[in-house]
Amino acid sequence: MKNKIKIARVSMDLTQQQLADKVGVTRQTISLIEKGKYNPSLKLCLQICYTVNKTLDELFWLEREEWRNGKN
Amino acid sequence: MKNKIKIARVSMDLTQQQLADKVGVTRQTISLIEKGKYNPSLKLCLQICYTVNKTLDELFWLEREEWRNGKN
DNA sequence: ATATAATGTAATATATATGTTACATTTATG
DNA sequence: CATAAATGTAACATATATATTACATTATAT
């Protein structure tokens, strides 16, 4: 589950911990999502978007192709 | 968790069951998501997007405001 | 008006996201 | 180099998404 959270996060000058706190989740959860090892809930995706000022498409969109190539 | 799945689905002439099948999920899951009673996973959101030819933002985006007004 | 398909929804079971704790590794900073 | 901060990751616990089964209600068609 690839995504662009890390780029958005560091460009906001946030640490995983800080993002986690703002979003109300654990640092580990952020870490695993950034690493593409988690399949986050829509709710969490939205909260991350709000915190780093991005939209769902900007952070999480994947074309069918890249989708199928990933592990899922 | 409001969304625009139903509109997209019927405009594709799909029943909940058909969408569910295409997406590999249960009809009940689709029903509950449409009704805003579920917090679907990103993976499922993407699969729905692909099936109804919409993007994440088109189907699932919510501004912070509407967000806070919802139950969550 | 009656049958049939589509949808809402509840109860219980299962799978999986997330929390907690803990430690290892990497990256920054003195 | 040394120390601290940031990040990766594992084991187990808990919360919650989704499946399953089943039935009720609403829409559609005959």
The residue range of the domain holding A6 is 2-60
pTM of the model: 0.93
Largest CA distance in chain A: 34
Convert the pLDDT of each residue in A20-58 to its tens digit.
999 999 999 999 999 999 999 999 999 999 999 999 999
Q: Is residue A66 part of a domain?
A: no
Q: Is residue A67 part of a domain?
A: no
Strand D atom within 7 Å of A72 CB:
no
Angstrom distance, B65 CA to C5 C1': 38
Min Cα separation A21/chain B (Å): 17
Q: Is residue B68 part of a domain?
A: no
Amino acid at B67: W
CATH number at residue B24: 1.10.260.40
**Domain total for chain A?**
1
Q: Is residue B72 part of a domain?
A: no
Amino acid at B16: Q
SS3 call for B41: strand
Structure tokens at B12: 């594709």
List of chain A residues whose C-beta atoms are within 8 Å of the C-beta of residue B40:
41-42
pLDDT of residue B57: 97
